[in-house]
Structure 1
Amino acid sequence: MAKAASESCEICEGGTGHHYCQQCDQIFCDNCKTAHLRIKTTKCHTFQSVRKINPEENLFCSEHDEPFIFHCVDCDTVVCQTCVVKKHNRHDMISIKDSVLKLKEQLETCVESKSKAISNDSKQLKQGDKVYRSDAKAVIKSITEDATRMKDWIDAKAEAFIKLVKEIEAKNHKILSKAYSGKKMYL
């Protein structure tokens, strides 16, 4: 709802708002008001000066100074008894009280639906997190087991090579020892 006469335009946010659209409940500058009235669906909207806006007085039609008693479903606006006949003839009308109750029910249904969706999403996220953590643990275990197997294999290969090198060294040492002792005999 409009608040003060010195507000800026709610459309372009640049100009100073001088005009209040009663149907849109928005403040417009001169240029945006002109553009608003050129649009086919909003050309019949009514404006009043921002200086005259008072939230308590906004319950009355500014044109006929009558209280709003109906909600025009076709135009989605509140109307007084005179406006019903003059501007909203043959439009679908419901009482403001029924309109508010209907909107309240729709809002409650929407909130309940969104609340259930959020609850379900939360449960799915918790379940997904549990599965993810379980999968991560399984991957870590698999990596650890593979690493252990690879280390054992490398250790076994290293031991086999060391044993082979020692065996070759022992054989070569015997050969060299024999050759050296044979050479000593000739000296």
Structure 2
Amino acid sequence: MAQVSAPKCDICKKVIANVFCYECRHFLCQSCKSFHEKFPATKRHTVTDSSNVDRSILILATVCEDHKLEFVYYCQDCECLICVQCVTSGHQHHSFTGITEVAAVARGDVMNRLVKIKDSVETVSNLIKAFKRMKKYKLEAGTEKFTREVHEVSQDLVKIIEKVTDINLSYATDFLDLEKQKGVIQFDATRKCIQQAADPYQFSEKIIKDKIVAVAIHIGTNETGFAYKFNNEFGNDPSDISSLDIGSRNSMTTKVPNSILLDPAKRFVAFGKDAEDQFFDLVREASHHDWYFFDQFTKNIPVLIYLVLNFLDKNFLIFPKKWEFEYVTSSPHNPTSNGLAEKTVKIVKTFVLKCKKEFSDPNLALLDYRTCPLSLGFSPYQLLMSRKLRSILPGTFGQFLLQSPNYNVVQDELFTKQACLKKYYDVGFEPLKPIETGDPVCFTCRHCDGLWKPAFVSSKYPEKDLM
């Protein structure tokens, strides 16, 4: 008996097989056997050792199982091989042909299918190659685009960082310059304060050394005070200053009221408490009509200036007529006529005091006041000049062009605001009571030189005119 060679694995075609699967009719190596047992469709197949397999089962059957005769024909109706006896028994009246012709047709069909499969494989290979090329091209293009965008974004970020750095550096430089200016202003203010504190002492010392006595007069808003110091007492105690009491309203202070009394010829008669007492005596005697009494004359300085200029310096009245202009002072009996000017002075004075306290520039404070928008939406400078004023705040060129506001709308809004303020202001006040007979009043006429004089209501007419 001839020796049979060991078969190779039908799956990997490399390793010698050691088992055989009857259902698959394949020889398997140990490695492929492990995969064969893992698949659900093949794990229940009958597997045996390859040395125990009968090699005759591997040979394809070429004889009929029923008649044990060799196949000769092919039944076209049943599509199977038949022997000579099958033609007259089970396949009678069927169409059949020879095996050689059927085999030639089957070989041709197999060859055509192989060609088609080969073409399909080649087409799939070309598609895979084209897909790889297109994918590679798109990947390279996308990578290049992404790299370019990242580079542009990085450049923009660098520009932004540089710009922010420049802005911060400029802010730091400006802040340093401002702090230096504040330091210089503070130093100057401190030096001035020291000088101002030293000047009065030096001035007083000089006066006291040169003179026998030094007298100080302080004219305040409501009262006036006096003080003096002798030369021979200055060396003992410079802080011991004597006050001069020339008549005060109470014993708690040595100051006197700012009251002045002038006679009918407008000549000085008395000052302070003496002026008040003498004027009250004239009122009781009803002989005060031609006299001039000023209570708190510091609030009536325009009238005093007018009296001085009118009766003491006649040349000043000739000067306005010569140069054709009119000299007018604010009426002391109508303080509301000068309210806007006083309010403006108060605002500016507040700015100056705050700037002096904070050692800042008062010009910048006034600039902010002129450029700050009001409740109307326009700044004072814009209402005056019909354009915005450049300040320390940054702005565009278009913001400083000529922009004339609608003054009719502005005036209407001002009137509306004033009416609203008057409405809420009048809530806490009641209408004035009607004047009755015997009530004290003040009156003026063309014979009074424009001055108000005290009087009493003697009678009342039906037309509500007072007498």
TM-score after normalising by structure 1? 0.58
> Within 5 Å, which residues of 2 pair with 1:11-50?
14=44
Q: Which residue of 2 aligns with 1:113?
A: 119
For 1:150, which of 141, 156, 164 is the aligned residue? Answer: 156
CA 79–122 in structure 1, closer or farther in 2 if over 3 Å, else same: farther
Q: Where do 5+ consecutive residues of structure 2 fail to align?
A: 1-19, 25-40, 47-53, 195-467
Partners of 1:69 and 1:115 lie apart in 2 by: 38
8 Å Cα contact 2:64/2:82 also seen in 1: yes
CA 174–9 in structure 1, closer or farther in 2 if over 3 Å, else same: same
1:168 aligns with 2:174: yes
CA 81–155 in structure 1, closer or farther in 2 if over 3 Å, else same: farther
Partners of 1:178 and 1:139 lie apart in 2 by: 58
SS in structure 1 at match of 2:70: coil
CA 12–104 in structure 1, closer or farther in 2 if over 3 Å, else same: closer
Q: Which residue of 2 aligns with 1:58?
A: 61
Q: CA deviation at 1:90?
A: 3.8
> Within 5 Å, which residues of 2 pair with 1:3-14?
14=44
* Letter aligned with residue 177 of structure 1: G
1:125-173 deviations in whole A, cap 9, x for unaligned? 3212322322232233233223223223322322232233123213322
* Letter aligned with residue 143 of structure 1: E
Q: CA deviation at 1:107?
A: 3.4
1:100 aligns with 2:106: yes
8 Å Cα contact 2:62/2:71 also seen in 1: yes
Q: Which residue of 1 aligns with 2:377?
A: none
| Identity, % of aligned positions | 12
Q: Which residue of 1 aligns with 2:138?
A: 132
1:83-112 deviations in whole A, cap 9, x for unaligned? 455338545756342143124313322331
- Structure of larger gyration radius: 2
Partners of 1:72 and 1:168 lie apart in 2 by: 110
Q: Where do 5+ consecutive residues of structure 1 fail to align?
A: 1-5, 17-50
Q: Which residue of 1 aligns with 2:70?
A: 67
SS in structure 2 at match of 1:108: helix
Q: Which residue of 2 aligns with 1:87?
A: 91
CA 148–92 in structure 1, closer or farther in 2 if over 3 Å, else same: farther
8 Å Cα contact 1:69/1:78 also seen in 2: yes
Q: Which residue of 2 aligns with 1:48?
A: none
8 Å Cα contact 1:66/1:80 also seen in 2: yes
8 Å Cα contact 1:72/1:88 also seen in 2: no
* Letter aligned with residue 91 of structure 2: K
Q: Which residue of 1 aligns with 2:165?
A: 159
SS in structure 1 at match of 2:169: helix
Q: CA deviation at 1:62?
A: 0.7
Q: Paired residues, what number?
A: 149
SS in structure 1 at match of 2:81: strand
* Letter aligned with residue 139 of structure 2: R
CA 158–77 in structure 1, closer or farther in 2 if over 3 Å, else same: farther
Q: Which residue of 1 aligns with 2:184?
A: 178
TM-score after normalising by structure 2? 0.27
* Letter aligned with residue 63 of structure 1: D
Q: Which has the higher helix share?
A: 1
8 Å Cα contact 1:72/1:92 also seen in 2: yes
SS in structure 2 at match of 1:58: coil
Q: Which residue of 2 aligns with 1:22?
A: none
8 Å Cα contact 1:61/1:68 also seen in 2: yes
